[in-house]
Amino acid sequence: GAGVSQSPSNKVTEKGKDVELRCDPISGHTALYWYRQSLGQGLEFLIYFQGNSAPDKSGLPSDRFSAERTGGSVSTLTIQRTQQEDSAVYLCASSSYAGGYTFGSGTRLTVV
Amino acid sequence: GQQLNQSPQSMFIQEGEDVSMNCTSSSIFNTWLWYKQDPGEGPVLLIALYKAGELTSNGRLTAQFGITRKDSFLNISASIPSDVGIYFCAGRANAGGTSYGKLTFGQGTILTVHP
């Protein structure tokens, strides 16, 4: 597609439930990234995919967080047993070798 | 881990004034980037810097990559109301001109421009 698409744009979930966030990168971008942005904060790196593999997942905050990417395209970030501190905007970006990052508009997750 | 300190945290200025913000790092970065984020949107790239000492302009925006590779600044000249938003610096450690690899972000500067 023309840009990075994320869905849903907003998600409200109950504490303890699992959530899945989806990212559709720009067609042809081999690299895909997930970041988290808490209120009034900068972006916190979560995980980086190159193709379907994740050479850097050092930012995942706990084993409740996981991500996968299939077909070198769509990625899903899964948060299990959500906690209130998971509330944040989850941003996805994709890049080509030298083309720079393009960010999606994010998924605003609220855990109640 | 790597951290970026961005200042100031917020700025309130009059339309037409110039603005300056900067970032410092505890470690070396080989690429410095400046982004702007509008409410409800993801960050959008303003300027990318790839070489120590590099000074790059994009319209009213000018950014520099510090000689030590541990700092960068962004200047906005003759501010206008649509400059309002959050500005972030970001650094990438890997060299070679590639966009691959994670970015470390500063905490952001909230810019308010009064007409």
Contacts of B4 in chain A (CB under 8 A): 42
Confidence of residue A101 (pLDDT cuts 50, 70, 90): confident
Q: Is A85 helix (H, G, I), strand (E, B) or coil?
A: helix
Chain A residues with beta carbon closer than 8 angstroms to that of B107: 41-42
d(C-alpha B72, C-alpha B102), whole Å: 18
Closest C-alpha among B11, B9, B16, B35 to residue B81: B16
Spatial contact of A23 and A6, defined as CB atoms under 8 Å apart: yes
- A63 with A38: CB under 8 angstroms? no
Query: How many Å apart are CA A31 and CA A102, to the nearest integer?
Result: 11
Output the pLDDT for position B101: 83
Give Cα A78 to chain centroid, integer Å: 9
**B42–A93 C-beta distance less than 8 A:** yes
Tell me the mean pLDDT in the region A71-98.
94
Question: Where residue A97 falls among pLDDT bands split at 50, 70, 90?
Answer: confident
Q: A98 contacts in B (CB within 8 Å)?
A: 97-99
Residue A42 binned pLDDT confidence (cut-offs 50, 70, 90):
confident
Q: State residue A39's pLDDT score.
A: 82
CB neighbourhood size of B56 (10 A): 17
Q: What is the pLDDT of residue A96?
A: 84
Residue B87: CB partners within 8 Å, gap ≥ 6?
B21, B34, B35, B36, B37, B46, B74, B108, B109, B111
Please list every residue in chain A whose beta carbon sits closer than 8 Å to the beta carbon of residue B42: 4, 91, 93, 103-106
Query: CA B34 → CA A6, A7, A12, A29, distances in Å?
Result: 23, 26, 31, 21
Q: Find the CB nearest A45 among B6, B102, B107.
A: B102
pLDDT of residue B97: 63
Residue pLDDT, tens place only, B23-46: 999 999 999 999 999 988 999 999
A interface toward B at CB cutoff 8 Å? 4, 31, 33, 35, 40-45, 48, 50, 56, 59, 91, 93, 95-101, 103-106
Do B42 and B88 contact (CB within 8 A), yes or no?
Answer: no
A54-58, B1-5, B15-19, B47-51 — which one is most confidently predicted on average?
Answer: B15-19
Place of tokens 């990234």: A33
Q: Pick the range with the lowest mean pLDDT from A101-110, B52-61, B75-84, B86-95.
A: B86-95
Identify the band that residue B1 occupies on the pLDDT scale cut at 50, 70 and 90: low
Task: Tell me the pLDDT of chain B averaged across its residues.
Answer: 92
Average pLDDT, chain A: 94
Compute φ and ψ for A85, nearest 5 degrees.
Answer: -70, -5
Give per-residue pLDDT as tens, A2-25. 799 999 999 999 999 999 999 999
Contact B101 A56 (CB under 8 A): yes
Cis? peptide before B43, omega within 30° of 0:
no
pLDDT recorded at residue B110: 96
Q: Closest Cα partner for A112 from A89, A78, A92, A83?
A: A83
CA distance B14 to A90: 33
* Residues of chain B found within 8 Å of residue A61, distances taken between Cβ atoms: none
pLDDT value at residue A25:
96
pLDDT band at B95 (very low <50, low <70, confident <90, very high): low
For the stretch A45-56, pLDDT in tens is 999 999 999 989
Question: Tokens 């790239």 identify what position?
Answer: B45
Q: How far is B110 from chain A (nearest CA, A)?
A: 9
Quote the CA–CA distance of A64 and A18 in Å, as a whole number: 9
